[in-house]
Amino acid sequence: MREFQGLSIEEMFDREQDLIAEVAEDDPWSIYKLIKFYKLLISKLTKERRQERYLLDYVKRQLIKRLIWYGEYMKTSDRKDPFTAKQCLKEAVSYNRQIPIAHYRLGFLAYQEGRYVNALEHFDMAISQNDVIKEKDYQLNDRQLYYAHLYRSNSALYIADKSHQFLERTSIKGYGQPEGYELSPLYNRIQANEHYISRNAVTVVSKEGERFCSLEEVEEVLNTEHKLICYFGDRENAVYYNGRGVTLQITRRKSFAFSFYIVQRIVQ
């Protein structure tokens, strides 16, 4: 960011559109560069105590947008970096607490690390905020909302199960279990939910209809011979044919002509 250090705020705003143009193909490095640019701009606006509050609000919104994108990318791309993903999403939430999609991603990261209390908190916030937030870019889609409820349920069950295990291990004189106390049948839902999540992780749509499969089955599907496979992920789309594929890192609409050109290259 040395190239921007000596610029005035007005000059930095003039350079903003040039940087945005560089991320037309959603290159991760250019997004990261834009994040650093907006952080520096916020610092300059804050230090100079500019009266135009709308400028600071605008820059923060732009920064949040890129932090969410970069956080999601580092969580879901083939170059996964959970730590960086977590830092970006946490930073986005530090600027604006009401970002359901950021809490949803943070919930998943906490769940994967076995931090079920944090996961429960984030899924709770994602669900409650999703009904009131107006920014569509921050909202969960129907499938994400469904999984937020499912993982919130499992997080709560894991927390309760941990307490139950403690009670079973601990013997305190005079404090026995109440009469008629028994393990709730809901605990059986933990493994049932995990099994459901595992085997319904990916939706497969073909001319035969729609079905679900596990992540382990995805590789087998992608290597199917003589069939064109279109894969739509959270942050990466790809096209496969006979095990060969091209990844399209996109968040914006691409023209049909460009997509068809990519398909032709693979088939040929």
What are 56's two structure tokens?
């600071």
What are 113's two structure tokens?
């690390």
Q: Hunting for tokens 């977590």 — which residue is that?
A: 86
Report the C-alpha gap between 35 and 92 in whole angstroms.
Answer: 11
Using CB atoms within 10 A of its CB, is residue 7 exposed (0-12), middle (13-18) or buried (19+)? Answer: middle
In the predicted structure, residue 35 carries a pLDDT above the cut 70? yes
For the chain, the structural domain boundaries read 1-82, 97-166+187-199, 216-268
- What's the count of helices (H) and strands (E) in the chain, helices before strands? 11, 5
Per-residue pLDDT tens digits for 162-221: 887 776 666 555 555 555 555 555 566 666 777 777 777 777 888 788 887 777 777 777
Cβ(195)–Cβ(212) below 8 Å: no
Q: Which of 15-19, 23-27, 35-39, 236-240 has the highest mean pLDDT?
A: 35-39
In the predicted structure, residue 53 carries a pLDDT above the cut 50? yes
Query: Which run of H or of E encompasses 202?
Result: strand 202-206
In 3-state terms, what secondary structure has residue 221? Answer: helix
Residue 203, phi then psi, degrees to nearest 5: -95, 130
Report the C-alpha gap between 131 and 137 in whole angstroms.
Answer: 14
Report the C-alpha gap between 70 and 114 in whole angstroms.
Answer: 23
| H, E, C per residue of 126-149 | HHHHHCCCCCHHHCCCHHHHHHHH
Confidence band, pLDDT 50/70/90 cuts, at residue 248: low
What local confidence, expressed as pLDDT, does residue 191 receive? 66
* Region 149-171 average pLDDT: 81
In the predicted structure, residue 16 carries a pLDDT above the cut 50? yes
What local confidence, expressed as pLDDT, does residue 135 receive? 84
Q: For the chain, first and last CA: distance in Å?
A: 43
Cα–chain-centroid distance for residue 240? 24
* Region 30-35 average pLDDT: 85
Query: Which run of H or of E encompasses 240?
Result: strand 237-241
